[in-house]
Amino acid sequence: MFVGVGAARVRDLFAQAKANAPAIIFIDEIDAVGRQRGTGMGGGHDEREQTLNQLLVEMDGFDAAGQVILIAATNRPDVLDPALLRPGRFDRQIPVDRPDLKGRGDILTVHAKNKPIADGVDLLAYARRTPGFTGADLANMLNEAALLAAREGKKSIGNSQLDEAIDRVMAGPQRKTRLMSEEERRVTAYHEVGHALVARALAHTDPVHKVTIMPRGRALGYTMVLPDQDRYSTTRNQLLDQLAYSLGGRAAEELIFHDPSTGASNDIEKATALARAMVTQYGMTEAIGAIKLGADSSQPFLGREYGHQRDYSESVAAKIDGEIRTLIENAHQEAFDILVANRETMDAMTTILLERETLNKEEIAEIFANVIDWPERPKWTGSLSRVPSDIPPVAITERLQPAEDAEEDSDKPKRARRVKKATSE
């Protein structure tokens, strides 16, 4: 782009909008021109900064009675220039989060209008199975299901096509050309069963919906755990259970083969990141306490990783590493102990998984009928000096409880729990 062209185009854009008022100007990915000034490596005013300056001038020249509305969108609000966000320019900021259960159901209904959906398909059930999906993910899921139905010569989209479409969106297409040896299949089966068994035994993990040893993307197999409802916060026990679940596959390989493989590398990466967040962001260890450690830099041109500043000493860094190691080791040991206590169930499920290659929620529940549930952890307040109260919280009345949740709770069967006795320390 020639020098001054960007600023000239901004002037022309606003002139056209005013000439055609009432009008709406929509700028998508505004971070391309609205990035914070002064972050260029050359130190001068580049063309982008001149374009941004002209945009700010035009926004200041808006007449309150004028009928031109300016709307912009970005997925990087953290890198925008503060001058863009001050009152008088972009007065209102509306964060658009991922859709909740109702939103996913409505989005699926919209995208399913022009597609032949079979009579037995419950779109709300698929909305429950897709927490965290964006609108684009849901549209892609239905498009994938339509393509699968066409390839199979089906006249309508059924549950089998939608199930496969969810797997494709979450984990990638099947790698049918990737042929594993029988030994690798057995290791993978034990690995995935280890994940599933730990998730089932712990009280604060999400239900296991699927276990497969069919290679997808870069994974040789995967275990799908999904929440029953949308969750907007996470407790310490839920995070500790996630750590143990992440290390369940590695623990299974150690227990059975005494020689762990590289298949757990992604699990270890996720567990380490979660443990670090528990220590440095969430204040969930006694040694560190409720302190936020590490500050985000205001240099967006360096990137998200390099923009992180360490605002603590070497001794604190060593203590952080020690706390992370303790969390990981405790979760690792907990997963190992769960598998030892449920060895017969693990062997039985592995045999079935090797035969069928994929197990659904109902099949998994039948196999796990006799799993020994792990005992609850001791109460935790962050310090021995803060004694937890024995007074229970107030009850959730029907007036406070959402109607949908109340209906689900009344219909949900009570699960008997076989709890292993906790050993005294």
Q: Render pLDDT for 56-111 as a digit per residue (tens, 0 to 9).
A: 988 886 665 568 889 999 989 888 999 998 888 888 889 988 999 999 999 999 99
pLDDT of 407 = 52
**Euclidean distance between CA atoms 248 and 367, whole angstroms:** 18
pLDDT band of residue 307 (cuts 50, 70, 90) is very low
pLDDT of 175 = 76
5-85 sits in which CATH class?
alpha beta
Find the length of the chain: 425
Q: Tell me what the mean pLDDT of segment 266-278 comes to.
A: 95
For the chain, the average pLDDT equals: 85
pLDDT band of residue 42 (cuts 50, 70, 90) is very low
pLDDT of 64 = 54
Start-end of CATH 3.40.50.300 domains in the chain: 5-85
Give 63 or 219, the one with higher predicted confidence: 219
Give 356 or 1, the one with higher predicted confidence: 356
Q: Scanning the structure block, which residue is given the tokens 């479409």?
A: 165
Residue 321 has pLDDT above 50, yes or no: yes
pLDDT of 140 = 94
Q: Tell me what the mean pLDDT of segment 122-139 comes to.
A: 92
Residue 264 has pLDDT above 60, yes or no: yes
Q: Tell me what the mean pLDDT of segment 14-25 comes to.
A: 90
pLDDT of 39 = 59
Residue 419 has pLDDT above 50, yes or no: no
Is residue 105 classed exposed, middle or buried when 0-12, 13-18 and 19+ CB atoms within 10 A define those classes?
A: buried
Question: What six digits make up the tokens of 168?
Answer: 């494709």
Assign domain 101-171 to its CATH architecture: Orthogonal Bundle (1.10)
pLDDT of 396 = 84
Is residue 242 classed exposed, middle or buried when 0-12, 13-18 and 19+ CB atoms within 10 A define those classes?
A: buried
Residue 306 has pLDDT above 50, yes or no: no
pLDDT of 244 = 96
Least confident residue range of 92-106, 170-184, 281-295: 170-184
Q: Which residues contact 252 (CB under 8 A, 6 or more apart)?
A: 190, 191, 193, 194, 195, 197, 339, 346
Q: Please, what sign has the CA dihedral across residues 340, 344, 345, 349? A: positive
Residue 404 has pLDDT above 60, yes or no: no
For residues 242 and 327, the answer to whether their CB atoms sit within 8 Å is no
Is residue 322 classed exposed, middle or buried when 0-12, 13-18 and 19+ CB atoms within 10 A define those classes?
A: middle
| DSSP conformation class of 84 | G
Q: Tell me what the mean pLDDT of segment 121-136 comes to.
A: 91
pLDDT band of residue 207 (cuts 50, 70, 90) is very high
Start-end of CATH 1.20.58.760 domains in the chain: 182-389
For residues 17 and 25, the answer to whether their CB atoms sit within 8 Å is yes
Active site residue 314: no
Residue 162 has pLDDT above 80, yes or no: yes
pLDDT of 283 = 92
| CATH code for the domain defined by 182-389 | 1.20.58.760
Give 190 or 231, the one with higher predicted confidence: 190
**Euclidean distance between CA atoms 240 and 333, whole angstroms:** 12
Start-end of CATH 1.10.8.60 domains in the chain: 101-171
**Euclidean distance between CA atoms 51 and 310, whole angstroms:** 34
- Residues of the chain with pLDDT > 90, as a percent, come to 52
pLDDT of 44 = 45
**Euclidean distance between CA atoms 91 and 64, whole angstroms:** 13
For residues 157 and 149, the answer to whether their CB atoms sit within 8 Å is yes
For residues 366 and 211, the answer to whether their CB atoms sit within 8 Å is no
pLDDT of 116 = 93
Catalytic residue among 164, 192, 253, 323: 192
